[in-house]
Amino acid sequence: MKHLLGTDGLDPDTARVILDTAEGLKKTLLGREVKKLPTLRGRTVITLFYEDSTRTRVSFEIAGKWMSADVVNVSAKGSSVKKGESLRDTALTLAAAGADCVIVRHPASGAAHRLASWLSHTNTSVVNAGDGTHEHPTQALLDMATLRERLGGVEGRRIAIVGDVLHSRVARSNVHLLTSFGAEVVLVAPPTLLPTAVGDWPVGAAGSLVVSHDLDPELPTLDAVMLLRVQAERMHGGFFPSAREYSIAYGLNEARASLLPEHAVVLHPGPMLRGMEISHAVADSARAAITEQVTNGVHVRMAVLYHLLAGEEDAA
Ligand code: ASP
């Protein structure tokens, strides 16, 4: 594997190997005071973020550092991007400076693919850390790691993805990965927050995808519910009457959560808008796996870096 650009195009066997590696790394590091492994010593990993981030950027940095890679963080705000440098020139500069891997987040869908094509003559790997409304593959992998831990797997499970599907790269990456692993995914959103072409989304052959506009009847049938942030920064116009009305129809509060089966898990990729998509009580309840998702994010990103930068060498 040279790049990780999306879950569409990531075959389920490779995804399984990454998840197994992440699980192994988590077990290895559990309870250790010193978390450094020597695996990527001498490798250079650069995060290149054109959009804000807390979890993704920090966990990639921690992942690289725990594997002993040299990690450099470039944010568009403090770089020559501000002086008008293009994405292509920035990418070529980072590769020329010695990046073994560029982890990119960009507001344009397709940006990570473009970067990979511009760097095809180099040995630099590209990881998509979120491109516009398109894909966020490591988020889907860490969500899968969390569901495997909580539910033992997703095959035959019914999982709802609720909220702003229209602007969510998390939803798209998850639909493909979850269905590839045999889950039935139900997208729950008001019609204004569902892409018109959702029927054309890539769906894994082992699972299925359905759509609903009504959350309450779905709740008792679910094994997991993944809430999406309402992405105001991508909204130009009114997609729902008010935050209060959104919350009344789609917010997961205690009364709604009580309709879920006992074992059902609540996920949120973060950042959470408490009081809008999720209530304080549900976010802090035992069924919420939100901080576990963050922890798993570090191990999954370690596993991704391992397979991109050391995996094949080790196998050889
Ligand atoms: N952190 C996720 C992303 O970057 C979800 C979100 O921002 O709502 O896509």
In this structure, what are the phi and psi dihedrals at residue 294, rounded to the nearest 5 degrees?
-65, -45
pLDDT per residue, tens digit, the chain (316 aa), is 999 999 998 999 999 999 999 999 999 999 899 999 999 999 999 999 999 999 999 999 999 999 999 999 999 887 888 788 899 999 999 999 999 999 999 999 999 999 999 999 999 999 999 999 999 999 999 999 999 999 999 999 999 999 999 999 999 999 999 999 999 999 999 999 999 889 889 999 999 999 999 999 999 999 999 999 987 788 777 778 788 888 899 999 999 999 999 999 999 999 998 998 999 999 999 999 999 999 999 999 999 999 999 975 554 3
Nearest to 225 by CA among 166, 143, 130: 143
The span from the CA of 103 to the CA of 126, in Å, is 6
* Whether the model pTM is above 0.85: yes
Question: What confidence score (pLDDT) does residue 77 get?
Answer: 83
Q: Report helix, strand or coil for 6.
A: coil
- CB-CB contact of 294 with 270 (8 Å): yes
Pocket mutation for ligand 1, best pick of 136, 172, 274, 294 (most atoms within 8 Å of C-beta): 136
Q: Indicate if ligand 1 lies below 6 Å from the C-beta of 57.
A: no
> Is 136 a pocket residue for ligand 1 (Cβ < 6 Å)?
yes
Quote the ligand 1 centre to 132 CA distance (angstroms): 10
What does the DSSP 8-state code read for residue 307?
I
Q: Delimit the domains of the chain by residue range.
A: 12-136+294-315, 137-289
Domains 12-136+294-315 and 137-289 in one fold: yes
Residue 169 CB–ligand 1 contact under 6 Å: yes
- Cα(6) to ligand 1 centroid in Å equals 15
What's the pLDDT at 316? 39
CA dihedral 271, 212, 219, 149 (to 10 degrees): -50
150 Cβ below 6 A of ligand 1: no
Give the Cα separation of 226 and 248 in Å (integer).
17
Interatomic CA distance for residues 178 and 74, integer angstroms: 32
How many Å lie between the centroid of ligand 1 and the Cα of residue 135?
A: 10
268 lines ligand 1 (CB under 6 A): no
Tell me which CATH code domain 12-136+294-315 carries. Answer: 3.40.50.1370
Ligand 1: which atom is nearest the Cα of residue 228? 8
Name the CATH topology of 137-289: Rossmann fold (3.40.50)
Report the candidate in 139, 112, 174 with the shortest Cα–Cα distance to residue 290.
139
